[in-house]
Structure 1
Amino acid sequence: MRSAKIKLSLNPVVPNRLRGWSNPVVPGDHPDPTIVQVGDTFWASATSGEWSPQFPLFRSTDLVDWTPSGSIFPQQPAWAEGAFWAPELVHDEVSGRCFVWYVAKKRGGPLCIAMATAPTLAGPYVDHGPMVCEQDGSIDPCFARDEHGKPFLIWKEDGNSQNRPTPIWAQQLSEDFLHLVGEKTKLIVNDQPWEEGVVEGPYILRHDGRFYMFYAGNSCCGKECKYAEGVARTDRLLGPWEKFPGNPLIAANDKWRCPGHGTAVHAQGRDGKAAQDYLLYHAYPAASTIYVGREAVLDAITWSEPESDGKPGWPSVNAGTGPGEPVKVSPIDFVDDFESPMLGSSWQWPVNTNPDLVLDGGSLTLGIPLHSPLGAGPVESAMIAVPRPAGLHYRASVALDLAVDSDSRLWSGLAIVGDPFNTIGLGVRGDRLTLWQRRGATQAVLWQIAAPVGRAIYLRSTSFGAEHHLQFYFSVDGEMWQVAGDPYDASDLPAWDRGLRIGLMLEGPQGLRATFRGFELCADSVLI
């Protein structure tokens, strides 16, 4: 039987010292998370970046245990070529409608904000294409109704991409939400020292008649990130807005780095419990930084006493101590024996590609397509990958069938992937077992031997050390493993905005194929 298992949640009965859950609630590379409650169910999604399918969907009944539920776009929107960022799930209580705002780069154009509608948050989603495409780029959408009930789109103009300010705008929507009407109004701009060149990721929560904008500031990503989360408030949606004097609301601590870009949810109370506001946002785990990527963390929002005018005060998260402290949890493993006729939902592939896949009772045959999807240019590779476990150390293994008449032009094997142009992998090319590296347009052979004789070869990679180092291995029986090449420092592999992934990869002429069996990805590995 098929065994594709991934545990995406933590054990809610093991509390940390403050709360009844532990962070991250959605481990792995899930930046810019969005969350909404409909009835007894919470729905969440996150940035998918340069990976397909676009925007993974998760559902939960307790905010802690999350189940993968497909994706918003199983097929890539044809108008967009990449940068699938910052989805914002919406269930509008006034109209009862479900939809999602999202960001993507228009083919040959700038970053745009687009919208798709669905009968329920589970989908299916019908894409309506781009709505806002400013020259500097338009990103990070959110939806709010003003004090009169009129619908508005709020977003960031991506001025920092051109060394300009980054205003947060609001503009009224038509009643069907498909068009902007009137003129846009500037709500805030980056004008505080902690924000440096950026304010972004707005989300507006109404609390006791006031509007509160949760927003992120400073640099989001990579080893040098300085991200943090702030808040501003107003009595009227179009302002004027007042920023919290104590910003940032959430900053780094010794467990988490660069927290920000959150979505709030007013969780309705059940079983006699009071309603509670929560913020779902992302942060890098301090112990493993960029290699895991930005993980989705959850914290409760508390509110200060009303002020002298009787109006509510400012929100607080963990009394200003940063993201909630993580606790030790069980390893998060992924196993796929390819018994299902459908590819498991945790697998991804690079945008603008559509690898040929054949699943046949315990094997996956991966092929380089004969035709380029979406006009993306010549096809010279195929890849599927899964996000690595949440944690610095892991072990990944797969069996690769050895063809009798192996084509010397085809490389196939197991790869550690920053993006398709920054990879290292162990595999077979012709009659050689090769440790292979790609950096942009440059490819290099780091180690090779004559390929072992047999029906299959087993390939393995482990990570180890305080930083991210890799060691590759091979086996002819899946039991006795031999070292393949020297340890490799993979610190330069991750893309600026993504964690690493573990991929099954081919490179070579169109139409060539390779067959894999028994993929395993296990956290907290011990070196062989």
Structure 2
Amino acid sequence: MTPAPSTSFPTVYIVLLLLCLAVPVMGQRLVMPGDFPDPSVVQIGDTYWASTSSANWAPAFPLLASKDLESWEFRGHIFPQLPEWADSYFQAPEITYDSTGVYVYYTARKRGGNLCVGIARADSPEGPYQDLGPIMCQDAGSIDAFPVRDNDGTLYLVWKEHGNSIGKPTPIWAARLTPERTGIVGEPFKLFQNDAPWEKSLVEGVSITRHGKYLYAFYTAANCQGRDCVYATGIARARNLHGPWQKYRANPVLEAGARWKGPGHGTPVERNGHYYFLHDAHDDANTAFTGRQGVLSEFTYTNDGWLRFESQDGRDAPIPARLVDTFDGGNLAPQWSYSAFQKPQYNVGEGTLTLNSIPSPCGAYVAQKLYTTDLEAEVTMKPTACTAESGIALVSDDLNMLRATLVGSKVSLWKISKGHHPILLAERFIRKTDSVIVRIVVRDGREAIVTYSTNGTQFHKLNTDPASLTFLQSRDRAIRVALVAIGDTDRRACFEHFTTRVRKPEDQQHIARSGPFRRRER
């Protein structure tokens, strides 16, 4: 199977200065820095392909490629345009393939309904992918699908019934797939459910691999709520898919350590005779700020027919020390995303992003992931060229935002919490000028100071007291930096030269020349 050619994205100019964490870590290694929850991975030829949840951000399901499971290149999205049948909660894409093509089983919320398992197909891993719609929608919701073949080669789909959403148990189901892999036939049967004390309210995120005489099911249990995330990973085994399934008496096999918290939802994979689990976890230092990141953990099978995770030395993947977008091309760069509930209208070219405004507290916005809790993000705006209230913001969703905006000759700092009316935290009047730079300085992921400049050299504080960011850290949604446009729909905001950079001086000493998410050029 020949991969399709990659797409180049000329709009972004990425300064390839990278912060490489030089301290070896034991047991779990960061390979996908930033918000990459629920990673799945499959080997196709000599390349590993991965995708992760995108939740309520669009485009949906980032697509990544690697030769070694450690250095990953961004290759686009499975859904550049969202499927028509679904509107939100794009989660847990499981990427797989056979001789007929590449298939992705994923979770999304059906318009007017509940969570369902959907399917998409492509001829090659880079796509384009054709959405084939939902194939399983239970009343409580159906999520976290995984395809697996039983001993006789019959293909089944395994998934979780989302019972914890209505205060009920969370059974793991399986049902036979059609030969085309696009539908379910026969009656579903149950593999297991949450019944051990450590599993608390749920088991989910099942992925299954075969080794020797057993099928091994990796699964996530307990729950995850931002800083209080207590996810852990368990193992169950059976001689065939119909069971009986036996849970390991020493579960959980992977749980919180000194650094990584809530290790869960992932996929087992093999490379050069070694076995790994690519999964997500929170960095204890960053918690919900940077989200659930992609972590690689090595394991071995034991003589008693189970498995154990190994201690290992290795370096974390580098994170960007500086990213710049000068908006020179005709498309928005792939690093940018937007709310699945509100697709923005914009134009990019000749060094300017023009963003159409909408009259809501959070406005229209495009956003980028963050990789560290200590950073600066700034943008240059043209108040005389565009008349919308425009600015830079930290956002976790459509209801929670800290934004610093410019309208006319006034710079203001606003807090929007739980969708309530914006609260004014600070404002300053400035002289009229053709260009204004607004900068957000984030400290330890907990507070922010905003500064502004009308000449590009001298910056003034907008807020003297730091603005708390704890209100943004709801559930396990990562925080992103955004450019926003607020006002009537006939108004626009104009942005030039956006940049983010790591703040800590000691971090700047570790600079590499290449990064974890390189783009392959034509």
* TM-score of the two chains, using structure 2 as the length reference: 0.90
Displacement of 1:11: 6.3
Displacement of 1:18: 5.5
The aligned counterpart of 2:279 is: 281
- Aligned counterpart for 1:366 among listed residues 347, 351, 355: 355
State the SS of the aligned residue for 2:183.
Answer: coil
- Aligned counterpart for 1:383 among listed residues 365, 371, 381: 365
The aligned counterpart of 1:181 is: 185
Distance 1:159 1:27, change over 3 A: same
Instruction: Answer yes or no: is 1:211 the counterpart of 2:215.
Output: yes
Q: Matches of 1:392 and 1:448 in 2, distance apart?
A: 25
For structure 1, the residue ranges without an aligned partner over 5 or more in a row are 270-274, 308-312, 371-377
Displacement of 1:462: 1.0
- Aligned counterpart for 2:291 among listed residues 278, 290, 293: 293
The aligned counterpart of 2:471 is: 492
Whose RCO is larger (CA < 8 A, sep 6+)?
2
Per-residue CA deviation, residues 262-284 of structure 1 (Å, 9 max, x unaligned), is 111123x3xxxxx2221100000
Distance 1:398 1:103, change over 3 A: same
Aligned AA (1:204): I
Displacement of 1:524: 3.3
State the SS of the aligned residue for 1:24.
Answer: strand
Q: Matches of 2:313 and 2:80 in 1, distance apart?
A: 33
Is the contact made by 1:459 and 1:474 (CA closer than 8 Å) also made in structure 2?
Answer: yes
Q: How does 1:422-433 map onto structure 2 within 5 Å?
A: 422-433=400-411
The aligned counterpart of 1:348 is: 337
- Aligned counterpart for 1:131 among listed residues 131, 135, 138: 135
Instruction: Answer yes or no: is 1:256 the counterpart of 2:260.
Output: yes
State the SS of the aligned residue for 1:216.
Answer: strand
Per-residue CA deviation, residues 50-79 of structure 1 (Å, 9 max, x unaligned), is 100000011111111111111000001111
Per-residue CA deviation, residues 323-348 of structure 1 (Å, 9 max, x unaligned), is 98865956543211111222111100
Per-residue CA deviation, residues 467-502 of structure 1 (Å, 9 max, x unaligned), is 511111101122211111121110120331311000
Q: Matches of 1:511 and 1:194 in 2, distance apart?
A: 55
Aligned AA (2:412): T
- Aligned counterpart for 1:517 among listed residues 496, 507, 510: 496
User: Could you tell which deviates more after superposition, 429-438 or 59-68?
Assistant: 429-438
- Aligned counterpart for 1:16 among listed residues 24, 28, 34: 24
State the SS of the aligned residue for 1:460.
Answer: strand
Is the contact made by 1:414 and 1:427 (CA closer than 8 Å) also made in structure 2?
Answer: yes
Displacement of 1:205: 0.5
Instruction: Answer yes or no: is 1:192 the counterpart of 2:196.
Output: yes
Is the contact made by 2:361 and 2:421 (CA closer than 8 Å) also made in structure 1?
Answer: no
The aligned counterpart of 2:510 is: none
* TM-score of the two chains, using structure 1 as the length reference: 0.89
State the superposition RMSD in angstroms: 2.4
Instruction: Answer yes or no: is 1:83 the counterpart of 2:65.
Output: no
User: Could you tell which deviates more after superposition, 502-511 or 160-169?
Assistant: 502-511
Displacement of 1:514: 0.8
Distance 1:346 1:324, change over 3 A: farther
User: Could you tell which deviates more after superposition, 339-348 or 139-148?
Assistant: 339-348
Displacement of 1:318: 2.2
State the SS of the aligned residue for 1:223.
Answer: helix
Displacement of 1:429: 2.4
Instruction: Answer yes or no: is 1:397 the counterpart of 2:401.
Output: no
Q: Matches of 1:241 and 1:165 in 2, distance apart?
A: 17
Is the contact made by 1:419 and 1:494 (CA closer than 8 Å) also made in structure 2?
Answer: no
Distance 1:17 1:446, change over 3 A: closer
State the SS of the aligned residue for 1:442.
Answer: coil
The aligned counterpart of 2:5 is: none
Is the contact made by 1:417 and 1:494 (CA closer than 8 Å) also made in structure 2?
Answer: no
Q: Matches of 1:73 and 1:522 in 2, distance apart?
A: 29
State the SS of the aligned residue for 1:495.
Answer: coil
Q: Matches of 1:114 and 1:69 in 2, distance apart?
A: 22
Distance 1:325 1:463, change over 3 A: farther
Aligned AA (1:276): H
Aligned AA (2:433): G
Instruction: Answer yes or no: is 1:479 the counterpart of 2:465.
Output: no
State the SS of the aligned residue for 1:447.
Answer: strand
Per-residue CA deviation, residues 381-417 of structure 1 (Å, 9 max, x unaligned), is 311000112x22111011011126x64xx42100000
- Aligned counterpart for 1:47 among listed residues 33, 42, 53: 53
The aligned counterpart of 1:373 is: none
Is the contact made by 2:370 and 2:479 (CA closer than 8 Å) also made in structure 1?
Answer: yes
- Aligned counterpart for 1:5 among listed residues 3, 14, 17: 14
Q: Matches of 1:240 and 1:152 in 2, distance apart?
A: 16
Aligned AA (2:282): Y
The aligned counterpart of 2:306 is: 314
Displacement of 1:523: 2.0
Displacement of 1:441: 2.9
Aligned AA (1:446): L
The aligned counterpart of 1:57 is: 63
Q: Matches of 2:19 and 2:208 in 1, distance apart?
A: 28
Q: Matches of 2:405 and 2:18 in 1, distance apart?
A: 33
The aligned counterpart of 2:434 is: 455
Aligned AA (2:367): A
For structure 2, the residue ranges without an aligned partner over 5 or more in a row are 1-9, 507-522
- Aligned counterpart for 2:399 among listed residues 385, 399, 421: 421
The aligned counterpart of 2:167 is: 163
Displacement of 1:437: 1.6
State the SS of the aligned residue for 2:31.
Answer: coil
Q: Matches of 1:441 and 1:125 in 2, distance apart?
A: 38
Q: How does 1:333-344 map onto structure 2 within 5 Å?
A: 333-344=322-333
Per-residue CA deviation, residues 119-144 of structure 1 (Å, 9 max, x unaligned), is 01111000011111111110011010
Is the contact made by 2:281 and 2:295 (CA closer than 8 Å) also made in structure 1?
Answer: yes
Q: Matches of 1:8 and 1:102 in 2, distance apart?
A: 34
State the SS of the aligned residue for 1:194.
Answer: helix
Q: Matches of 2:17 and 2:223 in 1, distance apart?
A: 27
Is the contact made by 2:144 and 2:159 (CA closer than 8 Å) also made in structure 1?
Answer: yes
The aligned counterpart of 1:69 is: 75
Distance 1:57 1:139, change over 3 A: same
Q: Matches of 1:173 and 1:49 in 2, distance apart?
A: 26
Aligned length: 495
Is the contact made by 1:302 and 1:317 (CA closer than 8 Å) also made in structure 2?
Answer: yes
Q: Matches of 1:32 and 1:504 in 2, distance apart?
A: 27
